[in-house]
Amino acid sequence: MHTQSDESLYHQMRSGDEQALEVLYEKYERLLFSFAHRFTNNDRLSEEVIQEVWMKIWNGRVDFNTDKGKFSSWILTITRNAALDCLRREKRQPTIEVEERDGGYDEPVERTVIQRETASEVRDAVSELKPDQQELIELVYFTGLTQQQISDQLNLPLGTVKTRIRSAIQALRKLLDGRER
Amino acid sequence: MEERCHDLIDYFNGTLSATDRDAFEAHLATCDDCKQAFQEMQDLMLPIAESLPERPIPTGMKSRILGEVLGSANEPMKPASAEPTRKETPQVSELESARTQKQKKRAVPLGWLMSIAAALLLSLGANAYFLSQDESSPTEEFAMDEVKGMGNFESTASIKGSSMIFTKDEKEYMLVQLKDLPPLKEGELYQLWTIQGDTPRANGVIEKDGEAAAVFPLKGDGTIDAVAITVEPEPDLEKPTGEVVASVAL
């Protein structure tokens, strides 16, 4: 079952298969939690975000099809939107340090070799970007600021922001592609 | 660059109004440049997410989330012709405990219950601590060590609420939050009982109607199977004398 594609598990789940839901949940639990945590900086809020994501998916309030690209990118987009909504609700800035709950944690599971390599490769690639490009990636992906706010923050004309963001994204893509070869 | 092209970032971040969003989606269908830029932003999401430092998963998160999701009101749309494809031998796993939670019809938002627990624990002493119910519950981080069980009350008297057993510094506590408690007669009180097997033990008193939230240190040792509430003439009797008006299996 674990070798099934995400897309086929998704369709099984949408027809009411709880087992498929569990497999997909397990597959994405760590990735989504770390991702949500990057926005909320808080365990409880991250859990709420992930719950919201699976509620939406299970209840068909969002729908995946292959026109939307890969399932992994799609579910991360849903998670990111839910995390940004959560931040807006909480009116928290993602950079504020919030004390963590003193609760228990599951035993860490070793990441696969591929995941570890990906993680370090992307981190290396990001670190090779120019500092202003790193900042743009951070602003676009993790703060949810509007283009106007980014423009104000960086003191750049509105039109220039999009162009700069695009070149930062393309530069990162290029660095990543270079590593894959 | 067209005027609409400036909306790309705001579209990506979901900050456009519904009208602007629709307009941008129409634009996206015709502007190859925006389409490609949007795709590039989407495609980087996975490598960026994978590059983040891994966070430890809070204990029991999977069970809580799947419990909520499977217990949510709307079942997924089922195609009329397609039978759900199931494994012949489903694994007994956290899904089972999620199903159990589903059967308990847990409807109280977990975060809210936990934030009440957080507020209570800030000044929890040896005695029961009562809290007036406040929707704008504090957002302090809760400091319980482990949640040992939780569920919603089932009631013959329309009482709504939930209970959670948790540990903190190796002591066990029971959190209850209740509403729609019917009015009491003079001298009556609501007695909470923890039940182990068939044995009830008086463990906390609520002397008001309407709404109440409280944490009681658990008496005795061992696993609590259920919590029940009766109306009694006196606190902490040996055995219940009144009918059970609400109970929850944990």
Q: Which of residues 131-170 of B touch A (CB under 8 A)?
A: 139, 141-146
Q: Does B86 touch chain A (CB under 8 A)?
A: yes
Which candidate from A55, A118, A162 shows the least CB-CB separation from B69? A55
pLDDT tops 50 at residue B139: no
Of the listed ranges B9-23, B101-115, B172-186, the least confidently predicted one is B101-115
From chain A, the residues in CB contact with B10 under 8 A are 146-147
Q: How many contacts, defined by CB atoms under 8 Å, are there between A and B?
A: 217
Q: How far is B19 from chain A (nearest CA, A)?
A: 16
Do A129-181 and A1-92 have the same topology in CATH? no
Q: Does B79 touch chain A (CB under 8 A)?
A: yes
Greatest mean pLDDT range, A124-128, B187-191, B196-200, B211-215: B187-191
Which candidate from A60, A166, A173 shows the least CB-CB separation from B77? A60
From chain B, the residues in CB contact with A48 under 8 A are 110-111
Q: Taking residues B76-97, what's their average pLDDT?
A: 41
**What pLDDT is stored for residue A24 in this prediction?**
95
Q: Which of residues 34-73 of B touch A (CB under 8 A)?
A: 37, 39-62, 64-66, 68-70, 72-73
pLDDT band, very low/low/confident/very high, at B244 (cuts 50, 70, 90):
confident
The C-alpha atoms of residue A43 and residue A32 are separated, in whole angstroms, by: 12
The encoded tokens of residue B96 equal: 């089972």
What does each C-alpha distance from A131 to A138, A168, B116 come to in angstroms? 11, 10, 43
Q: Taking residues B174-191, what's their average pLDDT?
A: 86
| Domain range annotation of chain A | 1-92, 129-181
Looking at 1.20.120.140, 1.10.357.140, 1.10.10.10, 1.20.1290.10, the CATH number of the domain A129-181 comes to 1.10.10.10
**Given an 8 Å threshold on Cβ–Cβ distance, is B61 in contact with A29?**
yes
Q: Does A51 touch chain B (CB under 8 A)?
A: yes
Q: Taking residues B94-102, what's their average pLDDT?
A: 51
B147-161 confidence digits (pLDDT tens): 787 778 888 778 888
Of the listed ranges A33-42, A128-137, B115-124, B167-176, the least confidently predicted one is B115-124
pLDDT band, very low/low/confident/very high, at A65 (cuts 50, 70, 90):
confident
The C-alpha atoms of residue B175 and residue A16 are separated, in whole angstroms, by: 34
Phi, psi of B65 (to 5 degrees): -70, -50
Q: Taking residues B194-213, what's their average pLDDT?
A: 85
Give me the CATH code for the A1-92 domain, please.
1.10.1740.10
Largest Cα span, chain A: 52
CB neighbour burial string for A113-127, b if at least 16 within 10 angstroms, e if fewer:
eeeeebbebbbebbe
From chain B, the residues in CB contact with A17 under 8 A are 84-86
Paired residues of B200 in beta bridges: B195
Q: Does B2 touch chain A (CB under 8 A)?
A: no
Q: Taking residues B136-153, what's their average pLDDT?
A: 61
The C-alpha atoms of residue A43 and residue B148 are separated, in whole angstroms, by: 18
pLDDT tops 80 at residue A34: yes
B42-75 confidence digits (pLDDT tens): 888 988 898 888 889 999 999 999 999 998 755 4
Q: How far is A159 from chain B (nearest CA, A)?
A: 7
Q: How far is B172 from chain A (nearest CA, A)?
A: 14
From chain B, the residues in CB contact with A166 under 8 A are 37, 40
Which candidate from A105, A140, A176 shows the least CB-CB separation from B59? A105
Q: How far is A155 from chain B (nearest CA, A)?
A: 16
Mutate: best of B7, B9, B136, partner A, most A CBs <10 A = B9
The C-alpha atoms of residue B170 and residue B217 are separated, in whole angstroms, by: 11
**Given an 8 Å threshold on Cβ–Cβ distance, is B68 in contact with A51?**
yes
What does each C-alpha distance from B186 to A119, B146, B189, B207, B209 come to in angstroms? 66, 38, 9, 10, 12
Mutate: best of B5, B24, B45, B64, partner A, most A CBs <10 A = B45
**Closest residue on chain B to A12 (Cα):** B85
pLDDT tops 70 at residue A91: no
**Closest residue on chain B to A54 (Cα):** B69
Containing H/E element for B189?
Answer: strand B189-196
Instruction: Report the predicted TM-score, pTM, of the whole model to 2 decimal places.
Output: 0.56
pLDDT tops 60 at residue B17: yes
Tell me which residue of A48, A24, A22 sits closest to A36, measured CA to CA.
A48
**What pLDDT is stored for residue A68 in this prediction?**
72
What does each C-alpha distance from B85 to A108, A114, A120, B94 come to in angstroms? 31, 31, 38, 20
Give helix then strand counts, H and E, for chain B: 7, 10
pLDDT tops 60 at residue B233: yes
Q: Taking residues A54-58, what's their average pLDDT?
A: 94
pLDDT tops 60 at residue B168: yes
Q: How far is A5 from chain B (nearest CA, A)?
A: 15
**What pLDDT is stored for residue A109 in this prediction?**
54
pLDDT tops 50 at residue B86: no
Which candidate from B1, B43, B111 shows the least CB-CB separation from A159? B1
Q: Does A34 touch chain B (CB under 8 A)?
A: yes
The encoded tokens of residue A147 equal: 């283009």
pLDDT band, very low/low/confident/very high, at A175 (cuts 50, 70, 90):
confident
Q: Does B32 touch chain A (CB under 8 A)?
A: no
